[in-house]
Structure 1
Amino acid sequence: MKKAVFQLEALTCPSCIKKIESTLNKTSGVDTAKVLFNASKVKTEYDETQIDAEKLEETISKLGYPVLSAKVS
């Protein structure tokens, strides 16, 4: 399992949290996805044999939340 933290532009509403978390948690290969609203970050844990950080970043961006940076560990 790998972990990635994505820094987003400021999140403005609690419904953003649900939209991002539900989409990522339904994505094949994602174990967990948690949005930190006040920090505007998304923490993920995923199976790197099924999906990579670039695909996760692309998914978040397609939802309308530009990713400013990503840290993969």
Structure 2
Amino acid sequence: MITIDCRGLRCPIPVIRLAKAIPTVAVGEIVRVLADDPAAANDIPAWCRMKDQEFVAADGHAFDVRRRS
């Protein structure tokens, strides 16, 4: 698992950093995004749906995404 710290950054930066990080991990691995922008709670799951990645969980300001392809 890799962690991307986007705390203090506003939309769309957390999603942009997630998009750049996903290709760097193996299929099946998780990228954790730390983001305190309230929009991340909607933006990250929406990005996962659009890009066919698996939104695993949200826990406070941590969002886990599993690479599908």
TM-score, normalised to structure 2's length? Answer: 0.40
More strand by share: 1
More helix by share: 2
Q: Which has the higher contact order (CA 8 A, sep 6+)?
A: 1
Greater C-alpha Rg: 1
TM-score, normalised to structure 1's length? Answer: 0.39
